[in-house]
Amino acid sequence: MRDTAKSAIDSWRKIQEEDLTLLAPRDGVVGQAPRPDDIGRMFEGPREQQQPTPIFTIHTPGQMRVCMPLVTSDYNRLREDLQGRELKKLKTGKEDPPSINLRVHGLDSSTWEGRIARLDESEARYIPMLLSSRANGPVPVAAPTGKSQGLVPQTQHYLVYIDVVDPDPAMAVNAMAQVKVYLRPETCLQWAWRTVNDVFNLRLL
């Protein structure tokens, strides 16, 4: 009877350990993880949130990606530029990606080449801490509340992700960077139209 009970307890403990063990889909460096203060805290799943905040993030060694916030007008211009380049590629068969230069704070005046990985189709409901005004970032955010799961931007922003080509080993996760994207020239009429929309917040673009 004692051996049976002990076997049942050991089996239950093994099942519990397996259920509470999270395995990453690939090797890498943990970038974001719960803090000791989060022990026992319940996290909302993706069904309860349109933009869920990941509990863990895994960074692939030797690869770096920059997250860049853009206001609606800049995001629309970037998207239209990429669409025009894609149409040109279908006609000529040649790729013509936009030129992207970036600098990383703390690494002097060295520059690196970037490549656009993806653009979020919907506006960001939450902003990463390092991009928020609370961490001297460019995006003003509202004061956190108990109901919100993250930092809510006060103005509409979209997140663009840019891969760093041949990153330097000295680059660290969560480092601040400056990104400059060179788009195709626009006409004076296009510039005036975009400026008027930005100044008066007409949201026509």
Predicted confidence at residue 205, as pLDDT, reads 46
Q: How does DSSP classify residue 159?
A: E
pLDDT > 90? residue 158: yes
Rounded to whole angstroms, the Cα distance separating 126 from 124 reads 5
Domain parsing of the chain, residue ranges: 1-60, 62-205
Structure token pair of residue 75: 């995001």
pLDDT > 80? residue 128: yes
CB 70 within 8 A of CB 168: no
pLDDT > 80? residue 164: yes
Over residues 90-113, the pLDDT tens digits come to: 888 888 889 999 999 888 888 999
Over residues 71-95, the pLDDT tens digits come to: 888 898 899 899 989 998 888 888 8
Strands, DSSP E only, in the chain?
29-32, 57-59, 65-71, 99-104, 112-119, 157-164, 177-182
pLDDT > 60? residue 56: yes
Give the mean model confidence (pLDDT) for residues 126-132. Answer: 87
